């Protein structure tokens, strides 16, 4: 899993819930700018990874397990069985 794929999963999750990434951050008890594109890289251009604390807050707020969250990674990075109650129809596919 890459940094970009993890950020992609957050966007996919928000899209699946029909909310913005800002709203996802808010319902997770985080700053609304947590998932802004400007936060993907440091001011020196290095990848900025989502912390385990942030990921935990998102999973707690959405009721997802780590395996369920992994379904929102780009489809070419994993093979997981479907998760009951989560419709895969809104999951965005990674552009090639």
The structure's pTM equals 0.74
Domain extents in the chain:
3-90
CATH topology of domain 3-90: 434 Repressor (Amino-terminal Domain) (1.10.260)
Instruction: Give the angle 89-86-30 at the CA atoms, nearest 5°.
Output: 105
Q: Quick one: pLDDT at residue 78?
A: 53
Alpha-carbon separation of residue 87 from 1, 15, 91, 92, 94 (angstroms): 23, 12, 8, 12, 17
Query: Would you state the pLDDT for residue 96?
Result: 43
Predicted pLDDT of residue 75: 73
Q: How far apart are CA 12 and CA 8, in angstroms?
A: 6
Mean pLDDT per 10-residue section of the chain, whose length is 96 residues: 91 95 97 91 89 96 93 71 58 49
| CA within 13 Å, CB half, 22 | 5
């Amino acid at each position: 899993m890459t940094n970009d794929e993890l950020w992609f999963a957050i966007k996919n999750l928000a899209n699946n819930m029909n909310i913005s990434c800002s709203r996802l951050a808010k319902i997770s008890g985080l700053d609304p700018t947590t998932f802004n594109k400007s936060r993907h890289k440091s001011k020196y251009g290095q990848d900025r990874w989502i912390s385990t604390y942030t990921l935990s807050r998102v999973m707690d707020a959405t009721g997802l397990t780590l395996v369920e969250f992994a379904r929102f990674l780009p489809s070419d990075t994993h093979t997981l069985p479907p998760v009951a109650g989560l419709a895969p129809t809104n999951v965005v596919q990674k552009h090639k």
